[in-house]
Homo-oligomer: A and B are copies of this chain.
Amino acid sequence: MKLEQAIQSEKFETQVQKAGLNVLYTAWWLKTIVSKELKEFGLTHEQYNVLRILKGKYPELMCVRDIGNRMIEKSSNVPRIIDRLELKKFAERSTSLIDKRETVITITKSGIKTLELVSKKMNPVFGKTVSLTDEEALQLNSLLEKMREKE
């Protein structure tokens, strides 16, 4: 869908301004698709993100700060997301022996299993919904990184 239809507006001051809105809208669109698939697994978008980060390091333990640094949307909310993952038995917390200020977290077997089920469902949906060739994706990636150059 064209952005003009999506937000029912034709007024864009510049292509750059339109690009900003287009990125925001596309992110919302992607999140909506992902969240819909996650629903049956009782996971939210952000819980899913944290679980993937934990699985990426498994069987290593990760501290809260390291998880935060790897999150797509940097958030001060990591402890509370872990609260919810712990309640669902998808993650486990303990205090670091080396530095008692640190809480170290690991994904559980059950968390890994759930993540595998999610992937099995998510990958084909994602592939069918996102209409980009590998070459176009490469181009998009380089434009987005150009956009954030002055970060």
* Contacts A7-B70, A147-B131, A150-B128 given; does A141 touch B22 at CB 8 Å: yes
Q: Contacts of A1 on B, CB cut-off 8 Å?
A: 145, 148, 151
Which of chain B's residues has its CB closest to A32's CB?
B74
From the candidates B31, B70, B145, name the one contacting A2 in the complex (CB within 8 A). Answer: B145
From the candidates B25, B30, B149, name the one contacting A24 in the complex (CB within 8 A). Answer: B30
Residues 43-78 of A contacting B (Cβ, < 8 Å): 53, 56, 69-74
How many chain A residues sit at the interface, stated as a range, is 35 or more
Which of A79-87, A97-105, A107-115, A132-140 touches B?
Answer: A132-140
Say yes or no: A140 contacts B130, CB within 8 Å: no
Say yes or no: A3 contacts B141, CB within 8 Å: yes
Q: Which residues of A contact B (CB under 8 A)?
A: 1-3, 6-9, 11, 14-31, 53, 56, 69-74, 126-132, 134-141, 143-151
List 24 A–B pairs whose Cβ atoms lie within 8 Å, in order of A's numbering: A1-B145, A1-B148, A6-B151, A7-B72, A14-B134, A14-B137, A15-B137, A15-B141, A16-B132, A17-B126, A18-B137, A18-B141, A19-B132, A19-B141, A20-B130, A23-B26, A24-B31, A24-B72, A26-B147, A128-B150, A131-B149, A132-B143, A139-B143, A140-B143
Q: 19 extra interchain contacts, Cβ-Cβ under 8 A, other than A3-B144, A140-B140?
A: A1-B145, A1-B148, A3-B141, A7-B71, A7-B72, A9-B56, A14-B137, A16-B127, A18-B137, A18-B141, A19-B137, A22-B140, A22-B145, A23-B23, A23-B30, A26-B27, A128-B150, A139-B139, A140-B143
